[in-house]
Structure 1
Amino acid sequence: MQDSTDLILALLRDSCSWSGVEAPEGRYGALLDARHPPSLICLELSDRADYYPKISGGIHRFHIQWLPWLDQGTARAIESTIKFRLGLSAL
């Protein structure tokens, strides 16, 4: 079972089309083709990132909100522009 799961995830990851994007004010959203939604959303961040992504969405769209690692109280998005690479699988 583990080998099968590893193979499927490798195929999904290898099929990603990557692009560089920016999240102004710590937020990024995109519409998806409901007839051909991606099977996997991948993110590539800087090794020194002191924030993490909160991803939500469905068949028509997705939204990423970047939050600080050490948040005191209610989670609030980072208020600066975040640059990252976004990969959407084609399978």
Structure 2
Amino acid sequence: MPSLLDLLQSLEEQPAEAVIYAAKPWTAASDAAVAAFDAPPHDLAYLLEVELAQDVLDVWSSWRHGARPSPLEKCQAVIHYAEHDAYLDAHR
């Protein structure tokens, strides 16, 4: 099973309506999968919809003058949004 870090590297290839699930506690190394909303993988918790995760990364880039997030920064931004229902501040 891929890690969240690996899965987020192929986020653009995932169906927008699908959901990202990951093992808690959420970290870059958490096991992760993409599946339909009504079919969560065993032992994985809902993290975010693929479309919302893509939005989180777009906002991350926009707030940083078009910079591209590293794989670890992608994980941090997505996990932060999932835990706080807020975008990761550009000053963090």
Larger Rg: 1
Q: Same fold (TM over 0.5)?
A: no
TM-score range, shorter chain: under 0.3
Relative contact order (C-alpha < 8 Å, sep 6+): which is higher?
1
Q: Given the two structures, how large is their TM-score scaled by the length of structure 1? A: 0.27
Higher helix share: 2
